[in-house]
Amino acid sequence: MLSANQKLRPAAALAALAILAATAVSCTGFFVNPTISSLSVGPVSPAIQTGTTGNTVQMTVFGTNNDGSTTTSPSVSWSIDPTSVATISTKGLVTSVNTGTATVTATSNQNPAATGTQVVTVTVGCISQINIPTSATPLTANNLTDTVTATAVTCNGNSDVTSVATWTSSDTSLATVSAGVITRAATVTTAGSVNITATIGNITSNTLTISVTP
């Protein structure tokens, strides 16, 4: 007949094996869900327009786990900066607000240290007209520059396009223009006038005529 000690030995052995198995699982990570370690946000270099059409883009996110596996649908929180250029929904849909660039950030809900970013560019869409001032301060030896603003009339309201329009001077020997800044040429010997316009696509503004004197 087995003694009490002999009967306890198999049970003790099984308990020891269970402890070893639990230790192995905790050490090697068996049966432990992988953790997101990095995120990639797409599409690459997305561009949208202001206006009622073409003004949204759906962002996507791809995750890589700490064990090397990947996922195409990681749980993330979306944000965008600045919101004056575009907004983003909780599902990652970006909607244009104004021209410029905005950075979209996806943050892992599982591991907030894991983030991914992508820059969205917003250009002007559905332009019907571009307006610039009809008068400006004459350029003289004592007043070398003047600044004007270009405003686009679009199907989504007015938009400041000064920085994105293509500016043209009819006579660069008298004055040049860039991003709305009109600059008197350094060597003006004869008084004259310059016609300034701003263009986006096939839409050109009204003409601003500015006087230039030596």
The reply to whether 26 falls in a domain is no
Q: Same domain for 112 and 132?
A: no
- Span 66-88, average pLDDT: 96
The reply to whether 16 falls in a domain is no
Q: When comparing pLDDT for 187 and 51, which is higher?
A: 187
In the chain, the percentage of residues whose pLDDT exceeds 70 is 86
Against a cut of 0.85, is the pTM above it?
no
Q: Same domain for 112 and 154?
A: no
Q: Say which DSSP state 11 is in.
A: H
Pairwise CA distance, residues 176 & 188, whole Å: 12
At residue 24, the pLDDT reads 46
Domain boundary among 123, 150, 178: 123
194 near 175, Cβ under 8 Å? yes
Of 118, 96, 120, 156, which Cα lies nearest the Cα of 42? 118
- Span 71-98, average pLDDT: 95
Please report, for the domain that includes residue 145, its CATH number.
Answer: 2.60.40
For 48-61, the pLDDT digits (tens) are 988 777 789 999 99
- Span 194-213, average pLDDT: 95
Q: Is the pLDDT of residue 113 over 90?
A: yes
DSSP 3-state assignment of 204? strand
Pairwise CA distance, residues 152 & 104, whole Å: 26
The reply to whether 2 falls in a domain is no
Pairwise CA distance, residues 205 & 42, whole Å: 36
The reply to whether 4 falls in a domain is no
